[in-house]
Structure 1
């Protein structure tokens, strides 16, 4: 496969019929391939997230990231849009599911699609990746340190969210979880709770925790970046998607 790719901003018809923007990257070539929906983190639809979309295209997938904060601040800088979204309590789960479903549908409609689509998210996007895996027909999900999949949301937390404990028994797809052992949200006890629930319900999952790594260890532009953990994590993601998405 060629390492050439194309990347562009497109429009999707998301939840409630709302038009939102999304970033789509595709490898060149006629080969049939899987797709990946990248769910951006709480800092928003930013440069780092778009670089991740292009990285999946380089790995051989059609990849897309919908801007979940587009309604709050159309055309705004990522920091401003994220601030507006936080002020409103964040993107509601129902709306997130509608927007991600639109992204999944777009990927499956591409001429190169083999029909299989995975999702991945970091931080708030990690929680939303699990949310999607419990509610939508996708083929693989990756949770990178998603906060409040289990555990209790602290009083006064700016996002109006709850944990996903009641939804976990209906997880519909294989799940890869990558966590920092020094993280607080999720802390090791919350990861252990998630593992216990999934095991009790016979779910297909693989978890890995990195000693010395905290929250955000994949973010190359942030102080929390951990080179060894991030590199190993990318290798695990590539192997997981190769197994379940067929590229």
Structure 2
């Protein structure tokens, strides 16, 4: 808990990491100053791109005591403004799921290689990043908590499957390796409340540890303060739920004397 006489400091910079297939990609990394130990967070950007909101979110996690890294999943599409790069990726049908999972796993391994990590790493994403967070939590080992904020296309019809997205993420639910927090809006159309309910049924079926919260009066992307879909009350509550959830599963237990 923050006290006004506490020292605060942060390091934030662009780094390179090894992603899928050993490819070198760039990432944005932020951590508190000091010896730690700190829990780690992989912060997965959305379809609008590896943009300013995600650099801010990475620093937000660092501000709250996490060593946080946001890999650029669009690195291979070239460089330019986040909007231009995202447009190229969207025109190509997104990044392949296997590649995204490999990049996320690489970010997780980067965090685990650091001497000041407390041994626990979570994964967070919104929109397509929420979908990728769920995929990574199901398809890799090493995450201790996952946060999916309104990730669409977790539930997919056979007609929606593509060579880049050949398996619906919900079909990997038996392999979910850590507790899951999901935040959703009642007015969202991707995912719809019905799709969220279908996802919840599958989590219950396999006895997974999860918390889902559905917000009235909110649609897709209600955290994004720079967009018309921002919903202040729901966003503030959502962030509180995220940090309470992560504290529960990623904090270092205090030893009793």
Q: TM-score, normalised by structure 1?
A: 0.95
Aligned to 2:249: 244
Distance between the aligned counterparts of 1:132 and 1:158, measured in 2?
A: 18
- Give the secondary-structure state (helix, strand or coil) at the position aligned to 2:171: coil
Aligned to 1:102: 106
Matched, 1:89 2:117: no
Q: What displacement does 1:118 show?
A: 0.2
Matched, 1:122 2:121: no
Aligned to 1:61: 66
Checking the alignment, whether the CA contact within 8 Å between 2:173 and 2:202 is kept in structure 1 is yes
Q: What displacement does 1:2 show?
A: 3.6
Query: How many residues are treated as equivalent by the alignment?
Result: 245
Gaps of 5+ in 2: 1-5, 253-257
Checking the alignment, whether the CA contact within 8 Å between 1:2 and 1:28 is kept in structure 2 is no
Aligned to 1:198: 203
RMSD (Å), alpha carbons: 1.7
Structure 1 residues 153-182: Cα deviation after superposition (integer angstroms, max 9, x where no partner): 776x99943521221111110000000010
Of 46-55 and 164-173, more deviation after overlay is shown by 164-173
Q: 1:48 to 1:159 in 2, by over 3 A?
A: farther
Aligned to 1:38: 43
- Give the secondary-structure state (helix, strand or coil) at the position aligned to 1:199: helix
Runs (4+) of structure 1 exceeding 6 A deviation are none
Q: What displacement does 1:152 show?
A: 2.8
Checking the alignment, whether the CA contact within 8 Å between 1:217 and 1:224 is kept in structure 2 is yes
Distance between the aligned counterparts of 1:52 and 1:33, measured in 2?
A: 17
Q: TM-score, normalised by structure 2?
A: 0.91
Q: What displacement does 1:80 show?
A: 1.0
Distance between the aligned counterparts of 2:77 and 2:184, measured in 1?
A: 30
Gaps of 5+ in 1: none
Checking the alignment, whether the CA contact within 8 Å between 2:36 and 2:118 is kept in structure 1 is no
2:239 maps to which of 234, 238, 247: 234
Q: 1:185 to 1:76 in 2, by over 3 A?
A: same
Q: 1:90 to 1:180 in 2, by over 3 A?
A: same
Checking the alignment, whether the CA contact within 8 Å between 1:86 and 1:158 is kept in structure 2 is no
Aligned to 1:224: 229
1:21 maps to which of 17, 22, 26: 26
Checking the alignment, whether the CA contact within 8 Å between 2:40 and 2:111 is kept in structure 1 is yes
Distance between the aligned counterparts of 1:151 and 1:64, measured in 2?
A: 29
Distance between the aligned counterparts of 1:102 and 1:158, measured in 2?
A: 24
Q: What displacement does 1:111 show?
A: 1.7
